[in-house]
Structure 1
Amino acid sequence: MSYLSPKEFVTKMIDAGESKVFMSTRDTLIRAYMAGAILALAAAFAVTINVQTGQPLAGAVLFPVGFCLLYLMGFDLLTGVFTLTPLALIDKRPGVTIQGVLRNWGLVFIGNFAGALTVAVMMAIVFTYGFTTAPNPVGVAIGHIGEGRTVGYAAHGAGGMLTLFIRGVLCNWMVSTGVVAAMMSTSVPGKVIAIWMPIMLFFYMGFEHSIVNMFLFPSGLMLEGNFSIMDYMIWNEIPTVAGNLVGGIAFVGLTLYSTHARTAAKRNAHVAMVPAE
């Protein structure tokens, strides 16, 4: 059977979280770096499709190729470890501590950022012929994305910050659903299909993904986007990371764990059949 029951794949989630907590610093950084770089290339690919076709849905349909590649190669995104590693702590796996979970998150953040920034620099060079000309249409579009999703939120004050946070929550609700859904299958086609659907949804809906933004905003700054580094950090990256954390843990990790790994006792059939007086 290529399908695992919910109880089986939730056990895989806990095992994966435990494995990531105990992974060496070197391997954690390498896997996070490659995940950030591949996802950044997928984001550049999707924006290019949007600009050249004028159809945002086309970019959203094809963007998940990056997620599929990095998942199948065993690389790690911050959004995924936000969901998986806390489960090993909650399940009281031997040796798993809060410090270990936070260490993993910190290393994955650094690796993801480094990988995404590397691709941001490379693509900025491509879009400007080595910074010798003005950005091409795709580069201009990336600059405008950076403006709209930083100062665009800031223009709405507290309401903009709340919207940004909620978009971060919704994003990792979908992204982590894709990561977890891939564990349902033991076949490559099954994993790809399971990943593709929620990732396509999040991208088309414009939800905020902290690692995608690690590419879009630094490259936007290099491509004449009218916003600052502080705009990016305060009005995007920090609230997005917080939203991604809540979305992954609250709506994916804890819900699946609580109902499939710690299933409540079933109701007594005899009691359930007794009519209420």
Structure 2
Amino acid sequence: MREIESRPKREARSIEGDALAPGELVTQLLDTAEKKARLGVLQLIVRGAVSGGLLGAATLLAAAAWAQGLPRLTGALVFPAGFCMLVLLGMELATGNFALLPAAWYTRRVTGREVARNWWWVFLGNAIGAGAFATLAVASLTGWWTHGAGPIGEQLSNWALAKTVAYREARWLGWLTVLTKAILANWLVTVGTVLAFASRSTVGKIVAMWLPIMTFFGLGYEHSVVNLFVIPAGMLVGAPVGVGDWWIWNQIPATLGNIAGGALLTGLPLVWIHGEK
């Protein structure tokens, strides 16, 4: 009888012990950021490439759902799978590091040069992985460009146009819109990055990450690494988008906004509130 009565208490303690307090979470964040800053160049590029590919696959999954006529919210429900996979595998995503590395710099665990070094090589790796996946994905959709890409290709083409030409037509207000959407995007994405440290269990980590990533994607905000897949993929299926349209009217403001959102709205505030001074 005593054993039966004590079992719920043990289970309650187990559930409570799965979660980290905010201070513990920030300590984990800083320890991880310091390790990321010390990784070799090849490690950063390869890990970044894997992340770019996984995020591209999740984005394509969302496009496939929309191509079947499913509601737009369906894409938001499935997209976080790619983010969860890359985090659980210990890969590198530039947008997540836009929050982690500034927090470590603020506490003097890493130098500004180490921050810039990490961002540069990880972003390059993300671009390589996203671009490679875009090429292979479109090749598979078109039989190596022997036929059309079908409904999924149409989704990719329209998506690429909406992320470039639509902003170009609005001129400087379009550029500012991308910047604003990118700030909001990486605020939510980096909340997901940080919440990966909030639980000790795999299930707990997935649930914690899924919520803010689903929110960001469902709101249609601008994520620089996602765009490293979407826009080239759209161009490969025939969207009339030039390289200048891609970089001037999306990639540059999206990246700058992601940096601001991750560093100023997540990394620095959290470490200032809960972490080391």
TM-score range, shorter chain: over 0.9
Please tell me the residue identity of whatever aligns with 2:196.
A
**1:74 aligned residue:** 90
1:198-217 matches, within 5 Å, as 198-217=212-231
> Structure 1 residue aligned with 2:187, among 173, 187, 202?
173
Structure 2: distance between partners of 1:89 and 1:178: 20
Please tell me the residue identity of whatever aligns with 1:118.
A
**1:5 aligned residue:** 21
Q: Out of 162-171 and 48-57, give the one that drifted further.
A: 48-57
> Structure 2 residue aligned with 1:97, among 96, 108, 111?
111
Q: Secondary structure of 1:71's partner? A: helix
**1:229 aligned residue:** 243
Matched, 1:39 2:44: no
Matched residues, percent identical? Answer: 37
Matched, 1:27 2:43: yes
Please tell me the residue identity of whatever aligns with 1:153.
Y
Matched, 1:50 2:66: yes
**2:80 aligned residue:** 64
Structure 2: distance between partners of 1:145 and 1:58: 16
Measure how far apart 1:135 and its partner are: 2.2
Structure 2: distance between partners of 1:92 and 1:162: 32
TM-score for both structures, normalised by structure 1: 0.92
Matched, 1:187 2:215: no
Q: Pairwise CA RMSD of aligned residues?
A: 1.0
Please tell me the residue identity of whatever aligns with 1:28.
L
Tell me if the contact between 1:79 and 1:176 (Cα under 8 Å) persists in the aligned partners: yes
Task: Identify unmatched segments of 5+ residues in structure 1.
Answer: 264-277
**2:211 aligned residue:** 197
Q: Deviations over 1:206-243 (max 9, x none)?
A: 10011110000111111110110110000000100000
**1:126 aligned residue:** 140
Please tell me the residue identity of whatever aligns with 1:9.
L
Tell me if the contact between 1:16 and 1:85 (Cα under 8 Å) persists in the aligned partners: no
1:141-180 matches, within 5 Å, as 141-180=155-194
Please tell me the residue identity of whatever aligns with 2:236.
M
Tell me if the contact between 1:83 and 1:253 (Cα under 8 Å) persists in the aligned partners: yes
Q: Deviations over 1:56-112 (max 9, x none)?
A: 11111011110111110001111011110112211112xx22111101100001100
Measure how far apart 1:16 and its partner are: 1.1
Q: Secondary structure of 1:53's partner? A: coil
Q: Deviations over 1:6-58 (max 9, x none)?
A: 01110111111111111111211111110011110110011101111331111
Structure 2: distance between partners of 1:144 and 1:230: 18
Structure 1 runs (4+) deviating above 4 angstroms are none
Measure how far apart 1:262 and its partner are: 4.7
Q: Secondary structure of 1:133's partner? A: coil
**1:275 aligned residue:** none
Measure how far apart 1:154 and its partner are: 1.1
Please tell me the residue identity of whatever aligns with 1:144.
N
Tell me if the contact between 2:49 and 2:129 (Cα under 8 Å) persists in the aligned partners: yes
Q: Secondary structure of 1:206's partner? A: coil
Tell me if the contact between 1:30 and 1:111 (Cα under 8 Å) persists in the aligned partners: yes
**2:123 aligned residue:** 109
Give the number of aligned pairs: 261
